[in-house]
Copies of this chain bind each other. A is one copy, B any other.
Amino acid sequence: MSPRQIDQNTLFEREKELLDAAMLLIKQQGVEGLTMDKLVKQVPFSKGTVYSHFTCKEDLLLGLCNRGMGILGALFMRAGKFEGTTRERIIAIHFAYLLYSRLYPMMFMLVISAKSPGVTEKSSTRNREMHLQLEASLTTGIISIITQALADGECNNPNNLAPEQIAFANWSSAFGTIALLSKDFEQCGIRAQMQSEQALLANVNLMLDGLQWQPLFSAFDYTQTLDRLRIEVFAPEVGLLDAQEQAL
A-to-B contact residues, CB < 8 Å: 30-32, 109, 112, 115-118, 158-159, 161, 165, 168-169, 171-177, 179-180, 182-183, 186, 199, 202-203, 205-211, 217-218
Contact = CB atoms under 8 A, between A and B. Distances in A.
Contact of A116 (B109, B158, B180, B203): B109
B169 A172 contact: no
B183 A177 contact: no
B168 A172 contact: no
A78 B210 CA distance: 28
A115 B186 CA distance: 10
A67 B117 CA distance: 24
Chain A at the B interface: SS class = helix
A98 to B, nearest CB: 13
A173 to B, nearest CB: 6
A180 B186 contact: no
Given A161-B202, A207-B207, A175 B180 contact: yes
Contact of A172 (B112, B177, B186, B209): B177
A245 to B, nearest CB: 18
Contacts of A211: 206
B109 A109 contact: no
A43 to B, nearest CB: 23
Contacts of A217: 158-159
Contact of A158 (B115, B176, B209): B209
A85 B218 CA distance: 26
Nearest to A119: B32
Question: A-B pairs with the 6 shortest C-beta distances?
Answer: A176-B176, A210-B210, A206-B210, A209-B210, A172-B176, A115-B183
